[in-house]
Amino acid sequence: MEKVKLIAKSIREYKKESIQTVVIVFFEVILEVLVPFIMALAIDNAIKPKNINLLIIYSVILIFITVFCFIAGIFAGFSASKASCGLAKNLRHDLYHSLQAYSFKNIDKFSTASIVTRLTTDVVNVQNAYIMIIRTLVRAPIMLILALILSFINNWVIGLCYLVVAIFLGFFLLFIAYKAHPYFATGVTTYDSLNSVVQENLQGIRVVKSYVKEDVEVSKFQKISNKIFKLMSSGEKIVAFENPVINFSIYMMMILLSFIGANLIVKEGTMSTGQLSSMISYAWMILSTLILISMIFVNIIIAQTSAERIYEMLTEKPDIVSKENAVKEVKNGDVEFTNVNFAYSSNAEKLVLDNINFKVKSGQTVGIIGGTGSSKSSLISLIARLYDVTNGSVKVGGVDVRDYDIQVLRDSVSVVLQKNTLFSGSIKDNLKWGNPLASDEQMIHACKLAQADSFIQQFPYKYDSYVEQGGANFSGGQKQRLCIARALLKSPKILILDDSTSAVDTKTDSLIRKAFREDIPHVTKFIVAQRVSSIEDADIIIVLNEGKIDDIGTNKELLERNPIYREIYNTQTNKGGKQDA
């Protein structure tokens, strides 16, 4: 019930259309159920006695009801469509809004494919269920109850038979729903895997083509698709029992009605021809209503799982939030790690970062180097509070990062992540992510510092040139330089480059570092790199090894005393062995 209440909150401005649909359907059903009753009166009071005037009156009433039901059906359809589409729109908005507040840890909990499925397929399932609920599910019980009441009024014996059959079929449908639900629930969840395969294939399509692995990818897709087919078809096989049972019930009721009705008319004379005619109509109404309910059940079964998945996302609490009375100003770029331990999961067996301690003064350049998997990216993620420490503290400007307002902290800490991301739009649009109010002069200056202006000027439309999704029309080095320029436009107190010059040549890398030294000497710079040349002139170099600090010092100091750094240096500068002739 709690899930229903939360999802129902997304109806918001479409409550009017939802209520309007229910009201229209209510009156439509009342009039529709009265039709057989009026027909019975017409047969018994007008047709048999051949009373033409009375027949005309009954005919006018029936025509009025038919026209009203026709118009009501159209309006109910419009209102229901608007209400269900509005619910879907608001649900997507609410889900996407919740997603934006997630921390990296929250996002790690849901796969990208799962989030996409919840925003698309699951919302559509709930939308389809909602339109059936406010229109068909409201209509069906009212029609069932009224048809049973009028059947009892006409003849209590036949009415009782109808009631027994309705109760039997009701329990049967509930049993079918109970048995089919697990299959549909698992099937809906498996769509995550299907989307994951498609997403992975599209992102790596160049690799797939290069290695001619199209058949392998088709096989992966087919395997997941077949799994969904088996689950859904298993559920549908169970649901398929509904129609034969309902049809059997219909024919049995018709036989029973004919037998009892004939006896009541011919032998006892307690039922009129008109009443028998109306009882046949009510029988069809009751059973057609049960068929409608069975169809709704299938949609609701599927929507139930989708609603649970939507509820899960809407109720996910961001684990990183600004505290009350949070600090609103970052004084400088001082950084201090004190006894920092970090793990991505609270029940992880091994720490990602273990007992990290160091201090950096504002304006210093810090190089971070280490082997693959030494947790370099994890360390710098803690500075901008993309993750929270497990133990210890990280201070920026002398204040624990957990005490800052998150927006204030992240506006003061520019991070160029290892994976460079550009968005569809112009180069100017992408740069303005760093500062929406930046002038053209500021953008050009930032791009010159990042060594990006030279290649931008070669494009026909320069800064208005179009960027395809993900920056697919730019090289790796060009994307890196644009991302650095975007970070510089924030005018940060701390700039973090997470292996963000790996795709540029050493000359360009050197020019970027020179520009940093000369133009932003007051900014604290963290440079995570695989190349020694990118960090050898840093004020401090941190050598990480398996999540621990192996040593801290300058390039000269580390060459003298640290074997890990010396080995990396010698390997990259070709000083570890004989020179090539």
The fraction of the chain above a pLDDT of 70, given in percent, is: 97
Average of per-residue pLDDT across 541-553: 92
Q: Which amino acid is at 106?
A: N
Phi-psi region of 499 (alpha: psi -120 to 50; beta: other; left: phi over 0): left
Q: Which residues contact 57 (CB under 8 A, 6 or more apart)?
A: none
Over residues 268-318, the pLDDT tens digits come to: 556 666 777 777 777 777 777 877 777 777 778 778 888 888 999 999 888
Q: How many Å apart are CA 247 and CA 44, to the nearest integer? A: 30
What residues pair up with 358 in beta bridges, in sequence order?
A: 337
Whether 249 shows a pLDDT value over 70: the answer reads yes
With bands split at pLDDT 50, 70 and 90, how would you rate the model's confidence at 389? very high
Structure tokens at 218: 């088709």
Q: What pLDDT sits at residue 497?
A: 92
Q: What pLDDT sits at residue 268?
A: 58
Q: How many Å apart are CA 466 and CA 538, to the nearest integer? A: 36
- What angle in degrees, to the nearest 10, is found between the helix axes of 440-449 and 476-488? 120
Average of per-residue pLDDT across 316-344: 90
Report the candidate in 464, 453, 454 with the shortest Cα–Cα distance to residue 427.
464
The fraction of the chain above a pLDDT of 90, given in percent, is: 33
Q: How many Å apart are CA 402 and CA 398, to the nearest integer? A: 12
Q: How many Å apart are CA 235 and CA 20, to the nearest integer? A: 34
Average of per-residue pLDDT across 522-546: 91
Q: What pLDDT sits at residue 4?
A: 84
57-83 burial: b if 16+ Cβ within 10 Å, else e: ebeebeeebeeebeebeeebeebbebb
Separation in Å, CA 518 to CA 109, 514, 515, 533: 42, 6, 5, 18
Average of per-residue pLDDT across 24-31: 88
Structure tokens at 414: 């520019």
* H or E segment and range at residue 544: strand 540-545
Whether 188 shows a pLDDT value over 90: the answer reads no
What values do phi and psi take at 342, rounded to 5?
-150, 135
User: What is the CB neighbour count within 10 angstroms for residue 461?
Assistant: 11
What is the widest separation between alpha-carbon atoms in the chain? 122
Q: Report which of residues 367 and 348 the model is more confident about.
A: 367
**CB of 429 within 8 A of CB of 355?**
no
Q: How many Å apart are CA 117 and CA 190, to the nearest integer? A: 10
Q: Report which of residues 17 and 578 the model is more confident about.
A: 17
Average of per-residue pLDDT across 244-273: 71
Q: How many Å apart are CA 169 and CA 137, to the nearest integer? A: 16
Q: How many Å apart are CA 438 and CA 456, to the nearest integer? A: 17
Over residues 191-215, the pLDDT tens digits come to: 878 888 887 787 777 788 877 888 8
Over residues 421-468, the pLDDT tens digits come to: 888 899 999 999 888 888 999 999 999 999 999 999 999 999 999 998
Q: pTM of the full predicted structure?
A: 0.73
What residues pair up with 337 in beta bridges, in sequence order?
A: 358, 394
Structure tokens at 303: 């929507």
Report the candidate in 454, 459, 485 with the shortest Cα–Cα distance to residue 473.
459
Q: How many Å apart are CA 34 and CA 147, to the nearest integer? A: 9
Residue 576 Cα to chain centre, angstroms: 52
Q: How many Å apart are CA 29 and CA 25, to the nearest integer? A: 6
Whether 469 shows a pLDDT value over 50: the answer reads yes
